[in-house]
Each structure stands twice: as C-alpha cells, then as structure tokens.
Structure 1
Amino acid sequence: MAMTNVTGLRVGVVGCGYWGSKHIRVLHSLESVGTIAVIDPNPDRALQLSRNYPALEAYKDLDEAIPHLDAVIIATPPSTHKPLALKAIAAGVHVMVEKPLATTAADAREMIAAAEAAGVVLMVGHTFEYHSAVWQLREMVQKKELGDLYYLDTARLNLGLYQHDCNVLFDLAPHDVSILNYVLGATPVSVQCWSSHHANAKLEDVGYLRLHYKNPDVTANVHVSWLDPCKVRRVTMVGSQKMVIFNDLASEERIKVHDKGVSQGPQLGDDLTQPPMSYRYGDVVSPHLVMNEPLMVEDEHFVDCILTGLTPLTSGANGLAVVEVLEAAQLSATQGREVLIEELAGNGPAKVVLDKANGVIHQNGVLHQNGSAPVGDLR
C-alpha cells in the first residue's frame, strides 16, 4: 500500500472536466490532504485549474502519477472506470470511482475483490447518500412517519447533457437508484425497464424503470431523460398517512411533507351516489434541514476512511448493488421482460451486442467505438 506523506495525503483526480474540477476544489479545502494532482491528457485543464490552485501537480496519465499518490478519484467516462481503478489498486492506491462503479456487475465484483486483496479503500461517488435532505427521507421511512409506504417515484430530467459513451440509464439512473436503496435500507429484487432513443441513434435518451423491493414491500418508479423541456430533480414518497416531495432544485423548502391522503369509504352496495373514497387534507410542512455540500461530505469521508480504516458508507458493495440494477434494467429493456437481480449473481461477461451498421459495440448501456474504451473528453 502507498505510504501516506507526512504532510498529508497525496490525492490525484483522474479526469478534470466539470465534475473532476469540483473534486479538486473540495480537496483543496481538506486539511488532511497535502498534495493534489491533476491527471488529464489535456494540459489546458491543469493550466486553468492552477490559476486558482497554484500548488497543483499535473500528470498526463495515471501511469505517470501513481508513484506520487496515496489515493485517487476517478471522474472519467464509465467504460474507463474498471481499468483505471484496477491499475491504481494494483499499485496499493486507495480509489474512489464516480458513478457508476462499473458497467457490469462482474466488473464491479472484480474491482471489489482486487481492493480487498490489496487492502485499500474502494468507494463509489454516490453523492446523494451524503445529502442532508436524503438523510431526512431515510429517517422518515425508519420512523414510519408516512405510515405504510404505497410507492416511490423519482424524476431526473433535462434537455441533455448527452454523454458520448453511455446511455441515459447509466448516466442518470445511478443517482436515483442509490437514493432509493439508501432511503429504503434495501435493494430491489427485480427490475422492469422501458427505454428508447430519439435524438441519438446509438444511445437511449429516455428511460423508465420500475424497481420491486421485498422488505419493505414497495415499488419505486424512476424516470430519466436527456430529452425533456424542463429540468427536474424530484423524489416523491407516498404513504398511507403522509406524502413527501424532495425537490433538489428548490432554493428553499427542499422537502415538503403533505399531511394528506385517502381512505376507502363504507361499503354501500349499489348506492352509486356515495363517493368510493374519502379524502383528508392537512398542513404542508417543510422540516428544517442543516444544508451541507454533499460532495464536501463525500470527499471528507473518503479521506477519513483512508486514515482510520473505516468502511465507506458508499463502499464497493454499495456500488455493486446499483450496477446490478442498471445491468438488469438494460437486460429488461432489451428482452422486454422483468429481470430478477439474482439472475446477475456470479454472472460472466455481460452480453455484448454488435451494431455493425454503426460500427460500435454496446455492452449494457455503454458504447465502445470499435470495441475499445472511448478516449474523448474526460468528465
């Protein structure tokens, strides 16, 4: 394992585009981090970041950077996650991988096994599990404040941003699947999915997932789209006593609890003049939240796990659970059937579909030009 520098951890960020640059800003504020390295083939990115953070080190690739690192954050396209992570793990470097952890459950398991064998931390960037509003939703479920859960519904919509190497399921759905698993304290037993591509001929840009949980016995619906006129980031939970909406785009009152519901009316036989249901309307309450920056909490947790040996909240196993859902969703959309998560247990390489007309290979929801990992812009 890489030794920690006496002046603080040496952390590299692979892929310093939009999201990677945010990690650099956060790492710069952490006292336990002594050195930050920009790892990106585009030298302009290091130059731009160095204007705000002059002490940054810069490397063109991970091979060049590894001897100088204790830990690395991988913020590159999904198809590159596994090879980059395995390279760092083999060198004894701690790893955090942005969502999704991998593009197949088999790859995720390989990464977990490698990290365990090397004795290093493997963590996935499920940022919403470090969001105070999502913590509040989980607490409501645990305390049964909503009564019996009827269903959950999430929507993550916008016009873009289209990714060049993965479809909308693998780009946006990891957020909502991780939120649902965390809030419910469970993982689904089966998945149904409908997806389609419209503006993009190669990758689906609209998807609908239905996740079936056993304990608690509840169904969750997930809608993701790159092709919607409105930007939406919403989670709705409906129970027998109350309903709650988490709107991540709201500047205030991100969570609203609606004290309303319905109940079945008395059985009146053939008397059709009576309403079949009775409706209850109460107050709408917005609980106080101590707002945090989830990325700050996440990166600080990663550093703490390295220094203390704690298992991350969003460990490799947590990432695997989400990847299993994504892989099952892609299989469901392709085969037009409900897919049990247990079907993916111990599976071999994921099904690969060759699209000869476009000269590309689709492995689950990830596109590989000529069968190789994309080398375009790193996120």
Structure 2
Amino acid sequence: MSKPPRIAVLGCGQWGRNHVRTLAGLGALAAVSDRNRDRAAEFAETYQVRALDPEMLFADPAIDAIVIALPPHHQAESAGAAIAAGKHVLVEKPIALSVDDAERIVDAARKAGIVAMTGHILRYHPAFEALQAMVERGELGTLGYIHSHRVGLGRFHPENDALWDIAPHDLSLILALSGSEPISVHGEGTAVLEHLSDFAHLHLAFPGDLRAHVFTARLNPYRERRLTVVGSRAMAVYDDVAPWAQKLAVYEHDIFRDASGWRSETHEPRYVATAEHMPLTRELEHFIACIETGERPRTPIEDGLAVIRILEAGTVRHERSVE
C-alpha cells in the first residue's frame, strides 16, 4: 500500500489542533506551522513531526498538501501562497473575507490544477449525508423551505460577527440541498455588545419556489444546531445537538385541505439510523483520497466562494460602538 500524501497544518489554534490530531491518526501528518513558534514546537514534539515557519512550509518540496486553519483575515493570503507553491489545500471557512479575495483563490487553484477544498465539515456528517441522499431520491418530495438555527453563547472575534463566524456551516448545507446558489439574499443583523452583529438573519430565494432562512446568534442562553427541510411529501430535521440515534428525524405529517380549509394530522417522527463516524475524520480522509486519485472534492474551493457571496450580500454594517 502506498504512503498517504504528506500533509502539514498551518495554524495550531482552537480548531487547527483537531486537524493536527486527526491527520496524525491517519498517518498523514508531516509538519505543523504556527506564528506562535512555541505552540508549533509543542505539537511537533507531541506528534513527532517537524515544526516549520510558514515561509519554509510553502517552499518545502517534502510537503504535498497544507490544511489552512488560521484566523479568517489570514486565510486568503496563506491559501494563495500555498497554491502558488503547488500545494494541495484544504482551507477552513470562511476562505476569505471578501468575494474578490475568494475569487482569486478559486482562479489560482484552477490554474494550478491542484486539489482545493473548503473545510465545510458538516457536509461529511453521516446524518447530513443521509438527509442529502433522501432529498436526492425524492423521499421528501419537492423542497419548498429550509430553515436553520445555529445559536448559543459563543466566542467573540474582533473581526468576525455572528454571520461570518457561524452561518457558513448552514449555508454550505443549504447550498448542497438546493443544488444552486440563491437568486436573492436579504440580511438583517443586530449588534448588542459593540459594532459587530451578535444576531443575524439571512433570507434566501432560490430558482423555482425554494426559499430558505438562516438564524445565527452568539448571545443566546441555550445551544441549538438544527436544520429543518420542508418538502411536499415529508419534513426532516437534522439536529446536531440531539443524541446520535435522533440526529435525523423524518416527519410524515398529513397536510390536506377540506371544506373547512387547510388541516394537518401529525405522526411521531421516524428516526433514521446512521453510523457513528467523526465528520472531521471523514473530511480529511476524503481530502487524502482526492489527492491520491485526482477526484473532485465534494466540497471544492468554489463552495467556499459561493458562501462568501451570500455572506457579503447579507452583511449589515453597524456604526454604533460601546462608549
């Protein structure tokens, strides 16, 4: 069996360290890099790999691919440098903070002919994969409405509001289910703490009659991670907070019209069994497979651009600041 590609992780912070651990478990971790040299050295010692400065990382011919897990304002520059060096890349979300920068990354990746993925991890969750398969088989009928709620008491970034920090998760899922980009986007945001939106709503219209709504909040007293899909035959809910056996529920309610108007008869949900696999492991296994085979990624870098287009169109600017 051939050896897996040699992959480095650039950014060993709160999320990057999960990439480091998972790639090490897959036998593909070759190096780590972080602007904090002490942090990089600590991970290098733990996993017995090299610690490289970012500039050395891009130039190192022994590195085949780089996972970029940096603060959002550093993502675009580092992704461009990695692609220019001929490295395959997996860029965490958001891949950039503007459509222009995201388009430059996509164009560079196409010209370089490398594998370029966006880190849309929930696309690799077994429960969402099962939901997407149901939609593609027509089990829910024609989709009419999708709404997502991703709320909680979250981290606060000096550059990122609730929309840019949280919404990419659900936008990637909605884009996968709809199969197209929206034809209109309307955003609403509310800033409570300072000048960045702590609450954000997005209203999306897609070709045909499909509509979608995204609600994100980082000042919410309870945690919710729920995506609801309403079809003409049935409804389904992917709830990432629920126990594994109940993460995907299908509601086959009867909705009909009689002489008195619209009525409904409810039924107990049917829970869809899915295998328990870690989405990050599945995502990185897919990245490795795409490098080895040349297969187009399930979440190509173009998906990251599509999300940035929505985020930019739906961003609300606030002038108010705390005194």
Alignment TM-score, normalising by the size of structure 2: 0.92
Deviation, 1:36, is 2.4
Contact 2:68 2:91 in 1 (8 A): yes
Matched, 1:242 2:234: yes
SS in 1 for 2:15: helix
Q: Distance in 2 between matches of 1:261 and 1:15?
A: 50
Name structure 1 gaps, 5 residues minimum: 1-5, 267-274, 335-352, 359-379
Deviation, 1:123, is 1.1
Deviation, 1:151, is 1.3
Q: Using the aligned pairs only, state the percent identity.
A: 36
Deviation, 1:214, is 0.9
Partner of residue 66 from structure 1, selected from 52, 58, 62: 58
Deviation, 1:51, is 5.8
String of CA shifts for 1:38-67, please: whole Å, max 9, x gaps: 2112234234434642x12112x3102223
Amino acid at match of 2:217: S
Partner of residue 316 from structure 1, selected from 270, 295, 301: 301
After superposition, the Cα gap between the structure-2 partners of 1:264 and 1:72, relative to the gap in structure 1 and judged at 3 Å, is same
Deviation, 1:147, is 2.9
Matched, 1:181 2:175: yes
Matched, 1:27 2:23: yes
Alignment partner, residue 105 of structure 1: 99
String of CA shifts for 1:10-56, please: whole Å, max 9, x gaps: 2211110111011011111224x2x4212112234234434642x12
Alignment partner, residue 220 of structure 1: 212
SS in 1 for 2:266: strand
Matched, 1:195 2:180: no
After superposition, the Cα gap between the structure-2 partners of 1:88 and 1:258, relative to the gap in structure 1 and judged at 3 Å, is same
Deviation, 1:85, is 0.8
Contact 2:35 2:54 in 1 (8 A): no
Matches within 5 A, 1:1-379: 8-31=4-27, 33=28, 35-50=29-44, 52-53=46-47, 55-59=48-52, 61-68=53-60, 69-199=63-193, 201-215=194-208, 217-251=209-243, 252-266=245-259, 275-330=260-315, 333-334=316-317
Q: Distance in 1 between matches of 2:83 and 2:286?
A: 19
Q: Distance in 2 between matches of 1:48 and 1:250?
A: 35
Name structure 2 gaps, 5 residues minimum: none
String of CA shifts for 1:43-102, please: whole Å, max 9, x gaps: 34234434642x12112x310222332211110111111110111111111111001122
Deviation >4 Å, runs of 4+: 355-358
- The RMSD of aligned alpha carbons is 2.1
Contact 2:140 2:234 in 1 (8 A): yes
Question: Which one has the largest radius of gyration?
Answer: 1
Contact 2:4 2:288 in 1 (8 A): no
SS in 1 for 2:94: coil
Q: Distance in 2 between matches of 1:72 and 1:259?
A: 44
